[in-house]
Chains A and B, each alone.
Chain A
Amino acid sequence: MRREWIHAGLLLAPALVLLFAFTHLPAIQTVIDSFFSTARGRRPSVFVGLANYERLLGDAIFMRAMVNNAIYAAITIPVSIGLALAMALFVQRRIAGRAFLRMAYFTPTVLPLIAVANIWLFFFLPGFGLFEQLRSLIGLSPRNWVGSPDSALYAVMMVTIWNQAGFFMIFYLAALQTIPDSLREAAAIEGTPRWVFFRRVIWPLLMPTTLFLSVNATINAFRMIDHVFVMTQGGPNNASMLLLYYIYEQGFRFWDSAYAATLTVVMVVILAIVGIGQFFLMDRRVHYK
């Protein structure tokens, strides 16, 4: 019996050590750092209590980033998931060129986001970008998509959705394959309309996948910012500033590691609440087999 415990401990040790060294310790360190001032070469770090958190409340750019991130999440999550489901339903059917279509939908996910963002930046360029050329064909006046505060955030969202919808589609496709054909045949015999069949049978059976994807999409909404670096750098005038980009800016451009730690604590708290909430709220409506 004791031998088994030792074995179990030894087997767990590598994972535990890595988890503590690279996840838990830094997280705790971050919380501690958020109560201190940033050390500069000539001024050591001192305990400042909640000063960093007070600063946060008065920081207009932080507020802007929070609002932007909320809009960003509220749009990218449902749209990516909806699009993924639509694409999965479409390419699941027996249609000509199915393999090609599936591949085409999945390709955006394989490309690195930085490269994707550079390509999209040229699509969006005013005057000679792809969208502009399409618009000029139908006689519309040019628009500066990433350079105007009212469209910059949406331009960034578009790239996110385009990039992650294909990835989510794969999960829906896999889930759809597991739904037995007999259900569809039974519904057909009963004369169930297709929409009712989708709403009453397929959608509930896809619920675990939808939950998984919505957790993922939420994390992505806070985590994927590579394209912000390339496309807008949070501009114009912070119109496309997202929380993680702001953390990067404070931490690695302004070298204000204490304030960056404070912002990180906020982000971790938000993600924890969202993650826990999703599991508890949606758990009731999810049918696991």
Chain B
Amino acid sequence: MTRLMKTRLLAAASIFASAAMLPASASAVDLEFYFPVAVGGDAAGIIERMTSAYMEENPGVNINAIYTGSYADTTTRAITAARGGNAPQLAILLSVDMFALIDEDIILPWDDFVTEAEQESWIGGFYDSFMANSQTGGQTWGIPFQRSTPVMYYNKEAFAAAGLDPETPPATWDELVEIGQQLTLRDANGNVTQWGVRIPSSGFPSWLFTGLVASNGQDGLANDAGTEVYFDTPEVIGALEYLVSLASEHEIMAPGILDWGATPRAFMDGESAIAWTTTGNLTNIRNNAPFDFGVAMLPANVRRGAPTGGGNFYLFEGSSDEQLQAAVDFVKWATAPEQAASWSIDTGYVAPRADTWETDAMRAYAEEVPGALVARDQLAYAVPELSTFEGPRITQIMNDAIAAAIVGDMTPAEAMAAAQNQADAVLAAYR
């Protein structure tokens, strides 16, 4: 009884206290901030804790962090809000949405809000491969934050069982085929009980495919201005032929379209001994895989290569200068070494700045989880993800073409030629 009274009194007191504080915060700068959650884990809780920590340090700023679903939902919501004259100040959206947002005329470049010194020290401090999808026309439109890159996870126990060295993952395309054949196990009826490799092809197949294209010697699939795509080059067709051959010729990958979302599960259940997926799944697999696993860079053909992916901070038009400056200050704080390190450790995203990797927390983490370092080191070979004007439409054209080749509707060369024609027709308006 007394306990109940106490809680009630406390509740009443806290309501009173917050009411009393209202006048003080009324003069504060209010910021709205949309964020998506695209990987497992408690990313939403982590963002909440981050914003409240910032508000404690900066009583003059009031950040309303709004969880807005998946990346696609968040983009939809941000564009709809901006069209309705009600844009947030900040949002985390896919880095590849940059051209779409410029085309909609709803985002602002960051350059106007930073001093010349900060151009160098802050914007210049991000890895170049992440800035490739964040800058165009000499201006910076996105600040890298929840960024990722695909890596190859492999089952060390399956390697040992097949008589392979668990510390030597395949480093080239040929080795992947060779090792994949030894890892593909069949039962007495000839049915496969364990596939050698799994490169998922639903969801965003063009992303992983960009990794194959990069290893085959081509820097990404589009130009920096987002107006040209290079789909029908020999490098791209060769990469697609290789991807198709894994299932059709070498029979080390399951045929048909392989689900993106079920990939961690397929790997952890032993359905596939090697799986390609985002570093964002590292924490999930580390916590749940019942066996010892390794993380390796994507295998090379003529060279190593991988795409970058994930989300950037965007600054939206339609707010007062005071709000925008406050928003920029918050992003500076969020990408500072300490904050970025704890964000990276908690989520598995790749810390986007070199100085973050030099913090004590990050060093300890890298020692404990060497897989995290693989992602960072792979950045040296990274190419931008496919990003153009009408980005979703162009990406969909690419995805359909990849699917058509995988399921055998078209040959890789036909599929890529068709995709090039369709993409050219769409992009003609932007040249």
A: which residues have CB within 8 A of B?
Answer: 40-42, 121-122, 125-128, 136, 139, 141-142, 144, 146-149, 232-233, 235-239, 249, 252-256
With a 10 A CB-CB cut-off, give which of A127, A233, A252 has the most chain B CB atoms: A127
CA distance A236 to B79 in the complex (A): 28
Q: Interface residue tally of chain B, by bracket?
A: 35 or more
- CB-based contact B191/A136 at 8 Å: yes
Does B28 lie at the interface of the complex (its beta carbon under 8 Å from any beta carbon of A)? no
- CB-based contact A126/B254 at 8 Å: yes
Task: Quote the shortest CB–CB distance from B305 to chain A (angstroms).
Answer: 25
Which of chain B's residues has its CB closest to A136's CB?
B191
CA distance A253 to B406 in the complex (A): 24
CA distance A237 to B258 in the complex (A): 13
Residues of A within 8 A of B403 (CB): 235-237
- CB-based contact A122/B262 at 8 Å: yes
CA distance A142 to B271 in the complex (A): 12
Quick one: which of A122, A139, A148, A256 contacts B407, CB cutoff 8 A? A148
- CB-based contact A128/B407 at 8 Å: no
Does B2 lie at the interface of the complex (its beta carbon under 8 Å from any beta carbon of A)? no
CA distance A131 to B189 in the complex (A): 18
Provide 9 A-B residue pairs closer than 8 Å at the C-beta atoms, listed in order of the A residue: A41-B102, A125-B262, A126-B256, A136-B191, A141-B189, A147-B259, A254-B392, A254-B393, A255-B104
Residues of B within 8 A of A128 (CB): 266, 269, 271
Quick one: which of A40, A148, A149, A233 contacts B202, CB cutoff 8 A? A233
- CB-based contact A235/B266 at 8 Å: no
- CB-based contact B254/A127 at 8 Å: yes
Task: Quote the shortest CB–CB distance from B140 to chain A (angstroms).
Answer: 19
Does B338 lie at the interface of the complex (its beta carbon under 8 Å from any beta carbon of A)? no
- CB-based contact A235/B255 at 8 Å: no
Does B118 lie at the interface of the complex (its beta carbon under 8 Å from any beta carbon of A)? no
- CB-based contact A148/B76 at 8 Å: no
- CB-based contact A127/B407 at 8 Å: no
- CB-based contact B257/A146 at 8 Å: yes
- CB-based contact B262/A144 at 8 Å: no
Residues of A within 8 A of B254 (CB): 126-127, 142, 144
- CB-based contact A139/B189 at 8 Å: yes
Residues of A within 8 A of B201 (CB): 147, 236
Quick one: which of A144, A233, A255 contacts B256, CB cutoff 8 A? A144
B: which residues have CB within 8 A of A?
Answer: 72, 76, 79, 100, 102-106, 189-192, 195, 201-203, 254-259, 262, 266, 269, 271, 390, 392-393, 396, 399-401, 403-404, 406-407, 409
Residues of B within 8 A of A139 (CB): 189, 191
Shortest 7 CB-CB distances between A and B: which pairs? A41-B105, A144-B256, A147-B257, A147-B256, A236-B403, A237-B403, A237-B404
Beyond known contacts A252-B72, A255-B392: 10 more, CB 8 A cutoff: A122-B262, A126-B258, A127-B195, A127-B266, A147-B258, A233-B202, A233-B203, A236-B202, A237-B407, A237-B409
* Contact flag A236-B104 (CB < 8 Å), given A125-B262, A127-B254, A127-B266: no
* Contact flag A142-B191 (CB < 8 Å), given A147-B258, A235-B257: yes
- CB-based contact B256/A127 at 8 Å: no
Task: Quote the shortest CB–CB distance from B137 to chain A (angstroms).
Answer: 13
Residues of B within 8 A of A149 (CB): 407, 409
CA distance A146 to B258 in the complex (A): 9
* Contact flag A142-B258 (CB < 8 Å), given A148-B407, A237-B407: no
Residues of A within 8 A of B79 (CB): 255
Residues of B within 8 A of A236 (CB): 201-202, 256-257, 403-404, 406-407
Which of chain A's residues has its CB closest to B410's CB?
A237
With a 10 A CB-CB cut-off, give which of A136, A149, A232 has the most chain B CB atoms: A149
Which of chain B's residues has its CB closest to A144's CB?
B256
Which of chain A's residues has its CB closest to B261's CB?
A121
CA distance A144 to B256 in the complex (A): 6
- CB-based contact B202/A235 at 8 Å: yes
- CB-based contact A41/B407 at 8 Å: no
Residues of A within 8 A of B72 (CB): 252-253
Quick one: which of A40, A121, A146, A148 contacts B104, CB cutoff 8 A? A40
Residues of B within 8 A of A253 (CB): 72, 392-393, 396
